A and B are shown apart, each in its own frame.
Chain A
Amino acid sequence: MTSSGPRVQRGVLLLATLAAFAFGAVIKVASASHYHTNCNGHGLVHGNSTSDSAYHSRVEGGPCQRTSRCDVGQFGNIVSYGGAAAGVTCDNFLSGYGPECYGNAWTRLTDAFDYHRHDAHSPC
Chain B
Amino acid sequence: MEKLKRNTLKKLLVLLVSSIAKVSYSNGNPYRDRFQSYRQTFRIEPNPIETERIINNIIGEKKITKNLVDLQVPDTVEDGNVVPLTFKINCSMKKDDYPKKVHVLALENPFPEVAIYEFFPENGNAEVSFRCRMRTSSFIMVIAEMNDGRIGREKKYVDVMLGACS
Partners in one complex: no
Q: What residues of chain B have their CB less than 8 Å away from a CB belonging to chain A?
A: none
Q: What residues of chain A have their CB less than 8 Å away from a CB belonging to chain B?
A: none
